[in-house]
A and B are shown apart, each in its own frame.
Chain A
Amino acid sequence: MAFNILLVDDSLTVRSVIAKALRLAGVDIGQIYEACHGAEALTVLEREWIDLVFADISMPVMDGEEFVDRLAASGAIEHLPVVIVSSAGSGPRIQRLKDKGVRAYVQKPFTPEQIREVVDKVMGVTSHE
């Protein structure tokens, strides 16, 4: 099954690196969508079917924590896996985000293998085609 994936980060560099890691890791990708911050990501989610979200924490306009709060408030986070990708992943903050429904955390810098592992885990992929 091909996944539609939304990448939420204010850095084009990070969005490019995650997209490349997903491809290198052999993740079955349908479409990749991009957003520069949480508010833009919410607009994409209203418009498109998304299977999986990778989001940063520190972003302008709406940061990752507020984005997760919005998804939790609407109940969307229960059926939309959100993975936080950040270098600002202090233990207490990651726990707060997981308590709100975030499925996994990837600390930068990461490898394609780590991205693959987290996709398999949160999407319930059990075998590689």
Chain B
Amino acid sequence: MMSQWVDICNVSDLQPDSGVCALVDETQVAIFYLAEDELVYAIDNYDPFGKVHVLSRGMIGDIKGEPMVASPLYKQHFNLKTGLCLEDETVQVPAYGARINGERVEINLSGAGQ
């Protein structure tokens, strides 16, 4: 499938070391910005445990070197690259392509991770 990079916002719209949410088609995408490394990650905003759209509002960091977000509701961790839940390997949220292109942030719904 051809990758579809969608323009989202300016880098300055992102929150350093934290997340924001974007609406891409009908999908809520959580975008996380590691300011120092100038890296962005994107996974789905839906928290499969809390069953609501809140992952963009979780805290980020790394566990054993892997970047992760902790759900703001019940604190499960999700790998930012793969969307895999660290506490329960059977649970995975979709991970999306994300990149910084000059001053712009772009998301690719079909490209998992980067």
Co-assembled chains A and B = no
Where the two chains meet, the residues of B that have a C-beta atom closer than 8 Å to any C-beta of A are none
